[in-house]
A and B are shown apart, each in its own frame.
Chain A
Amino acid sequence: MLPFFTRRFLSSIPVLFSVLVLCFLLVRIAPGSPFASERALDPATQSLLEKKYGLSGPLPTQVLRYTGNVMQGDLGESLKFRGRTVTEIIAQSLPRSLLLGSISFTLALGLGIPLGAWAAARNGHTTDTVLNTLALLTLSIPTFVLAPLSVLLFAFYLHVLPPAGWGSFNQLLLPSLCLAIPFIGSCARLTRSGLLQTLRSDFIRTARSKGVAESKLVLLHALRPAIIPLVAYAGPLAANILTGSLVVEEVFAIPGIGQFFVNGVMNRDVFLVSGAVLVYCLLLLFFNLVADWLTALLDPRIRLSS
């Protein structure tokens, strides 16, 4: 167990490092300067600014300086939000995105698994067909379609929920639901196909012939092996929720990390972009690690290897 975590942790360090370097280089090579504004900047000021932020000299030196700083826990200072460090911005915005994301994650699993199990139990009936089509429909409605439509309906026509903003429970409801809906569909589909496969296996037939009630059969016997593919999917799921959050934050004007990231890319805010990408990668690698570990917990036949 412990060697597994250690190995995974060690092997993710070079990955994180190369992503960080790549990202920094991309933003620095790209045309456009983070210091550009409406007024033309005279070269002396420009070079002073570059010096101040550690962006002077040849690129390899800049990269070394930056990665050195990162290793000491210093993510640099934002170039557009002057006077605020990237760490500060992330510390403020990330919790909001994480709250939003974890509510959606819970909704996706909490609604998706029961719905999928229901569909599988009613396989071949109308319920199954309806649920399956609904699931495909949710998969085909992108978040950025759902979000403006729901604002239109709930905020402007029905006047029951606020259209945007951050802070109250009411303001949280619509964005987290919009973010969750496509993933409810994919979770339901995975649960359904997993269960259908399991329900055909020998040990279920044995249990059924012993006279175990059908509901008990599904919930107590079949569900555990059936949701293994779902757990393996939880890593990518978390990833998709994270990136889906970019749109939701945009539509509902939520000051999460996604907004700062998109802003940073537009402004060539090199430290902010690299910092945000680093956070995204860290989160993803962590989620994948947990998903692999859980998969092995659920299925003793799977061994934890590198």
Chain B
Amino acid sequence: MKSRKSVIGLVLFALIVVAAVFGPMLSPHGVGELSVQRLAAPSADHWLGTDLHGRDLLTRLMYGARISLLVGFVGASISLVVGVAYGLVAGYFGGRLDNAMMRLVDILYALPRIVLVIVLISLFDLKLKHALDGTFLASLATHARLLLLFVGLGLVEWLTLARIVRAQVLSIKERPFVLSSRLIGQRTPTILFRQILPQILPIIVTYLTLALPAVILEESFLSFLGLGVQAPLASWGTLLADGASLLNPIATPWWLVVFPALTLTSTLLLLNLLGDQLKLDQGSR
């Protein structure tokens, strides 16, 4: 956190998170609360208007933020863990193992991953629901689709990080302090986690700020197509899809499209700018 710009960015993002967590509690309208004011334009009572069923859009946007951000955080973290572990192992052990592992990454790069995620998610949420029912995880069963989204999107995004981490490890492992740890007989896991990992931490943090918008974007993409988050849950993507489906030439409820679009875009822009700034702070471009 060297520059003021990145601090400002972080604070703004923290505000969004706060709005998502506490906003719905402060709102006078419940998230599923129906009213007779269907498709009402923005007013003093409903700041951002209401939807087809008279639900308050602002409240729904803040609830949607919870889902969108949650999927973003968890998805990005999964990709982080997988990517870092993969890159560490490939880079550190090198040789034939490295070759094979990176070849696999190349192959996965060349596949339409999001298409495969669509297949995976939409086909398996029922199956997972049944599998979870009856176990101690039964309470999770209703969120099977969400769990699949976490895993699916996490597995899409790890490839880039694996490449970056591997490249870093390749150069770091030749540095004197790693060689000397090896000489004094430190064990491999210790070297990996105590010596090498701290060195690449800044890069990982930067990557997290860039993976977050990517995952949020992919979640809304899937939700927009009707393949992601499902009612009664809502995310920014489903809200936008709801709005887009009501577009018609006679009486367009523009607020149902414009406000979710603005929310999503400004959040993504903020995160991308923040990631860019962090990269600049580290002296790379």
**A interface residues (Cβ-Cβ under 8 A, vs B):** 15, 19, 22-23, 26-27, 29-32, 136-137, 139-142, 144-145, 147-149, 151-152, 155-156, 163, 193, 196-197, 235-236, 239, 242-243, 246-247, 250-251, 261-262, 265-266, 268, 273, 277, 280-281, 284-285, 288
Contact of B257 among A15, A149, A277 (CB under 8 A): A149
Tell me the smallest distance from the CB of B104 to a CB of chain A, in Å: 10
Q: Which of B123, B126, B213, B272 contacts A26 (CB 8 A)?
A: B123
Contact: B114 with A144, CB < 8 Å? no
Interchain CB contact (< 8 A) of B269 among A15, A136, A149, A266: A136
| Bound-complex Cα distance A4 to B258 (A) | 50
Whether the pair B258, A142 counts as a contact (CB closer than 8 A) is: no
Q: Are A242 and B285 in contact (CB under 8 A)?
A: no
B3 to chain A: closest CB distance in Å? 16
Task: Answer yes or no: B91 CB below 8 A from chain A CBs.
Answer: no
The answer to whether A246 touches B225, judged by C-beta atoms less than 8 angstroms apart, is: yes
Partner of A27, one of B123, B130, B249, B258: B123
**B272 touches which one: A27, A136, A149, A281 (CB < 8 A)?**
A136
A243 touches B123 (CB 8 A): no
> Which residues of chain A are within 8 angstroms of B112 by Cβ–Cβ distance?
239, 242-243, 277, 280-281, 284
Q: Which residues on A sit within 8 Å (CB–CB) of B285?
A: 193, 196-197
Q: Does B122 lie at the interface of the complex (its beta carbon under 8 Å from any beta carbon of A)?
A: yes
**Given A142-B221, A148-B244, A265-B119, 6 additional A-B pairs, CB 8 A:** A26-B124, A145-B240, A149-B258, A156-B247, A247-B224, A250-B224
How many CB-defined contacts (below 8 Å) exist between A and B? 127
Chain B, range 63-112, C-beta contacts under 8 Å to A: 107, 109-112
A contact residues around B249 at 8 Å (CB):
155-156, 163
Q: How close is B61's CB to chain A, nearest CB, in angstroms?
A: 14
Residue of A nearest to B118 (CB): A265
User: Which residues of chain B are within 8 angstroms of A284 by Cβ–Cβ distance?
Assistant: 110-112
Chain B proximity of A133: nearest CB distance (Å):
8
A144 with B126: CB separation less than 8 A:
no
B263: nearest chain-A partner, CB-CB: A145
Instruction: Look across to chain B and name the residue whose beta carbon is closest to the beta carbon of A262.
Output: B225
Any chain A CB within 8 A of the CB of B170?
no
Contact with A along B106-146 (1 / 0, CB 8 A): 01011110111011101110110010000000000000000
Q: In the complex the two chains form, is B264's CB within 8 Å of A145's CB?
A: yes
Q: List 19 A-B contacts (CB under 8 A).
A: A19-B111, A26-B123, A29-B123, A30-B123, A136-B273, A136-B276, A142-B221, A144-B240, A144-B241, A152-B247, A152-B258, A155-B249, A236-B109, A243-B115, A265-B118, A265-B119, A265-B122, A265-B123, A284-B110
Question: Smallest CB-CB separation from A286: which chain B residue?
Answer: B110
On chain A, the residues within 8 Å of B241 by CB distance are 144
Q: Which 9 A-B pairs have the closest CB atoms?
A: A30-B123, A140-B269, A148-B244, A140-B268, A280-B112, A144-B224, A31-B126, A145-B261, A243-B114
Q: Does residue B252 face the partner (Cβ distance < 8 Å to A)?
A: yes
A145: which of B119, B213, B265 is its contact (CB, 8 Å)? B265
Q: Which residue of B lies closest to A159 (CB)?
A: B249
**Distance to closest chain A CB from B278 (angstroms):** 14
Beta-carbon nearest neighbor of A273 in chain B: B119
Q: Are B116 and A277 in contact (CB under 8 A)?
A: yes
Of residues B127, B217, B285, which shows the largest number of chain A Cβ atoms within 10 Å of its Cβ? Answer: B217
- Given A235-B110, A251-B244, A265-B122, is A149 in contact with B115 using a C-beta cutoff of 8 Å? no
CB contact between A148 and one of B107, B221, B227, B240 (< 8 Å): that residue? B240
Contacts of A236 in B (CB 8 A): 109
Q: Does A266 contact B122, Cβ atoms closer than 8 Å?
A: yes
**Interchain CA distance A32-B257 in the complex, whole Å:** 33
The reply to whether the CB of B237 lies closer than 8 angstroms to some CB of chain A is: yes
Report the nearest A residue to B248, measured CB to CB. Answer: A156
Among A26, A145, A197, A246, which residue has the most Cβ atoms of chain B within 10 A? Answer: A145
Q: Is B49 part of the binding interface, using a Cβ–Cβ cutoff of 8 Å?
A: no
Residues of A within 8 A of B258 (CB): 149, 152
Which single member of A142, A152, A277, A281 contacts B119 (CB below 8 Å)? A277
State in angstroms the CA–CA spacing of A181 and B158 once bound together.
25
Is B152 located at the chain interface by the 8 A CB criterion? Answer: no
Is A281 a contact partner of B111 (Cβ separation < 8 A)?
A: yes
Determine the distance from Cα of A196 to Cα of B258 in the docked complex, in whole angstroms.
37
Which residue on chain A has the smallest CB distance to residue B220? A142
Q: Which residues, 236 to 285 on B, are CB-close (under 8 Å) to A?
A: 237, 240-241, 243-244, 247-249, 252, 254, 257-258, 261, 264-266, 268-269, 272-273, 276, 285
A26-B123, A236-B109, A280-B112 given as contacts; is B264 within 8 A of A262 (CB)? no
**Chain A residues within 8 Å of B116, by CB:** 19, 22-23, 277
